[in-house]
Amino acid sequence: MLEETHINNLLGTIMKRFHLPWYWATACIASILLLLFLMVTYFDSALSDFLEWEFWQKATLSLIQFSYILILYPFFWRLRESAIQVFRPLVNLDDEAFDRLAAKVSIPNRRWEWVAVLLGVTVTLIVGQPWNLAWKSGEVWTSVYTVIYSPIYSGLLYWLIYDTLASTIQHARLSRQQLKLDILETNLLTPVARWSLGISLAFVGGISLSLINRTWEDLISWSAIYTYSMLICVTVLIFFLSMWPAHKAIAIIKNRELALAQKHLIEASHELKERAEKGSLERAEGLFSTISMWETYQRLVKGVPTWPFNATIIRWLATSFLIPASVYFIKILAGLGFLL
């Protein structure tokens, strides 16, 4: 079991500063966010709404968003490391050389991590302009909290997107190695598909959380329909993009094995034709057996899928999209008065 202390990217470095286990540090961050929100609400004299649903909806929004990413990320990291380790017996490298290569794949570019964070902060400040929405509420301290929190969360979100894309690109370095993979045992690369599924499930969960705080009027607007349709398409793209290097590696091996089978079939067929012309087919039993064997092998290789996922993983992916879709339609139906 890989430990969270092995996470050596920007997020892992920050979490280590708490000198606590990962999930204890996550609990501390969530508690701080909740306490800060209660404090600013108290300063704005808005605690009278303490028993109202809208109050706790606002109070827990930032807590849930941050906690969601922090809770899932160690699981996300372990899936990625498992997808890396699956290549250990498949590459022509000794353990020491593979460890060096795996370390290069796992270590992110810290400069680009900060660029992603700053990009998220900048986009939120320039495009989102959280102070406009915040000051309209008339709650000064809550507005300050929102203006500070929104860029930080956006920076975390952009960092997560960069981390996902960077790990996908770095993972391709392993797939480009000369793999010792039996074409009939491509299920060995299934951990790569599980990692891809984990990425997709994480993004689907994030989409579902973003729906909770939207009104039904917002959700039926063309901008919302476009945005969420695009997010779903991007999630599916990420699923297949993260598996593309493994798919390409399997496809190369499959084509190589098909070419080998075709070569032997042609050679055996030419020899059979020559014997037929010489009238010596009575001693060609072994040749018939060879042709049958290579035809069987060719059919088996043709039937091997070049994508390293199975039906269960595809069902999980398809089912996961029902969650945001259900939340979306339930909120609309409730807003239209069909649900009491």
**pLDDT, tens digit, for every residue of 8-50?**
888 988 998 888 899 999 999 888 888 887 787 777 666 666 5
For residue 134, the model assigns a pLDDT of 52
What's the whole-number mean pLDDT along residues 214-236? 75
- Helical axes 222-241 vs 190-212, angle rounded to 10°: 160
Amino acid at the residue 130:
P
- The answer, yes or no, to whether residue 57 has pLDDT greater than 60, is yes
Domain count, the chain: 2
Mean pLDDT of the chain: 80
For residue 128, the model assigns a pLDDT of 63
| Burial of 180: CB neighbours in 10 Å, binned 0-12, 13-18, 19+ | exposed
Separation of CA 168 from chain center = 9
Domain edge (last residue) among 131, 160, 180: 180
- The answer, yes or no, to whether residue 321 has pLDDT greater than 50, is yes
pTM here?
0.76
- CA neighbor of 184 nearest in space, from 318, 298, 26: 298
**pLDDT, tens digit, for every residue of 289-312?**
888 899 999 999 999 888 888 788
290 assigned to some structural domain: yes
142 in Cβ contact with 134 (< 8 Å): yes
- CA neighbor of 104 nearest in space, from 56, 39, 52, 171: 171
20 in Cβ contact with 28 (< 8 Å): yes
In sequence order, which ranges of 279-321 are alpha helices (DSSP H)? 285-302, 311-320
User: Of the given ranges (76-90, 260-274, 322-336), which has the lowest mean pLDDT?
Assistant: 322-336
**pLDDT, tens digit, for every residue of 105-151?**
777 788 999 999 998 888 877 766 666 655 555 567 777 777 788 88
For residue 44, the model assigns a pLDDT of 66
- The answer, yes or no, to whether residue 56 has pLDDT greater than 70, is no
Q: Whole domain around residue 282: which residue ranges? A: 254-302
235 in Cβ contact with 200 (< 8 Å): yes
Do 261 and 167 fall within a single domain? no
101 assigned to some structural domain: yes
CA pair distance 135, 137, nearest whole angstrom: 5
129 assigned to some structural domain: yes
